[in-house]
Structure 1
Amino acid sequence: MELFAQTLWLAAPVIGAGVVHIVAIHRGWLRGLARTPLDCGIMLHGRRLLGDNKTLRGLATMVGATIGFVLVEAALSRHTDWGRRLSLVDFDRVSPVLWGVLLGGGYVVGELPNSFVKRRLGVAPGAAAPGGLAALFWLFDQVDSLAGVLALMSVVWVPPFAIVVFLAGTTLCVHPAMALVMVALGLKQRVG
């Protein structure tokens, strides 16, 4: 049970940042950054690299909010016994700001390959892939951000296999739940 709690603690800053991002979209915060796509409008073979849905606002809110939540976790791990027990990261060795950049940046970077491939196939941002590809892209969309987080976090810490399994399970529950919230708020047309 402790391993599961530690996994949720590890994931909490990114989950919290996801909530902040949803609020930023819903409230129209950082509109200038929302109008600036990460691909800067660059085309490849007549199609956008990533599309309009991957923006500087997403990058800024995911990285910035993740850093904020990690700073809270680092303080709790330094000043409380329960925070120390939950933390899998030694914040005396790893800078909380660096850890937040790796987690939040990993989340954003992990989403980009899926968007890139969808644009190559002519799938519009926010639209479902055609036919039999829909299920494959839906599954990949649920775990792509986790792959990015794992890749970047491994720069300073490689999680044990059990943590990776728990993170995958957490991701497969939280990601669709967040999408449901976005659909309910009218920020997204569908889950997946």
Structure 2
Amino acid sequence: MDAVEFLKIIFVGLWVFLPAMLPNSAAVVFGKHGKTKMDFGKTWRGKRIFGDGKSWAGFFGGAFSGIVLGLIQIGIASIFDDSGDYWGFGDFWGNVGVLATLSFGAVLGDLCGAFIKRRLGLERGAKAPGLDQYDFVVGALCVTALFFPGWVYDTYIEGWHICALLFLLLIMFGIHRMVNIIGYRMGLKKEPW
């Protein structure tokens, strides 16, 4: 394998994961307008199930933002790539579901992260290193693997493609930090982490 082929694997792995990276940021924006909390204010064992930071508007707004981003990416790729692969997404109609599973998986992963943080007694916005940066990654990959195991295997596990997954895991901490600082400076987040 030459360097160009290796860089292509890394690029495609990052490119196709963008629909999973947008939903949590978009959920913050949409969630500001959401009055109905996902846990409806209910508690479990004396602690909120998810907390005030998780609303239905944020959940669906975030997930659908990821899907829209993915459709835009497929449109861009179709201009430059007439092979029908759409730069890693595969056949258009056959893999629009990948966009949905990546996007909804990301917000579900973040929701699981909030659930775990509440069980640990951490308040909304409290630091949880590792969990904060990777809950949506695990959620997106697990949900997508449940419905499209072949796609996940081909894109992130088979042969040198594992490097795309490792690259994602390495850069995600920095990307998460940078996006949170931007959100904090824009007044969308109360904490810069």
Shorter-chain-normalised TM-score: which range? Answer: 0.7 to 0.9
Q: Which runs of 5+ in 2 are unaligned?
A: 1-6
Q: How does 1:101-116 map to 2 (within 5 A)?
A: 101-116=100-115
Aligned length: 177
Residue matched to 1:144 = 135
Specify which of 17, 21, 32 is matched with residue 11 of structure 1.
17
How many angstroms does 1:99 deviate by? 1.9
Q: Secondary structure of the residue that 2:16 maps to in structure 1? A: helix
How many angstroms does 1:19 deviate by? 4.9
Residue matched to 1:122 = 121
| Kept in 2: contact 1:8–1:170 (CA 8 A) | no
Say whether residues 1:183 and 2:153 are aligned partners: no
Given the superposition, is the C-alpha separation of residues 83 and 17 from structure 1 closer, same or farther in structure 2, using an over 3 Å criterion?
farther
| Kept in 2: contact 1:6–1:86 (CA 8 A) | no
Distance in 2, matches of 1:62 and 1:115, equals: 16
Residue matched to 2:55 = 55
| Kept in 1: contact 2:89–2:95 (CA 8 A) | no
User: Percent of pairs identical after alignment?
Assistant: 24
How many angstroms does 1:139 deviate by? 1.8
Q: Larger deviation: 11-20 or 78-87? A: 78-87
Given the superposition, is the C-alpha separation of residues 5 and 85 from structure 1 closer, same or farther in structure 2, using an over 3 Å criterion?
farther
Residue matched to 1:37 = 37
| Kept in 2: contact 1:76–1:84 (CA 8 A) | no
Given the superposition, is the C-alpha separation of residues 22 and 53 from structure 1 closer, same or farther in structure 2, using an over 3 Å criterion?
closer
Q: Secondary structure of the residue that 1:113 maps to in structure 2? A: helix
Q: Larger deviation: 181-190 or 78-87? A: 78-87
Q: Larger deviation: 161-170 or 102-111? A: 161-170
Q: Which runs of 5+ in 1 are unaligned?
A: 129-136
TM-score (norm 2): 0.79
How many angstroms does 1:93 deviate by? 6.0
| Kept in 2: contact 1:77–1:83 (CA 8 A) | no
Residue matched to 1:75 = 75
How many angstroms does 1:116 deviate by? 1.5
Residue matched to 2:99 = 100
Kindly provide the amino acid, as one letter, of the partner of residue 41 in structure 1.
Answer: G
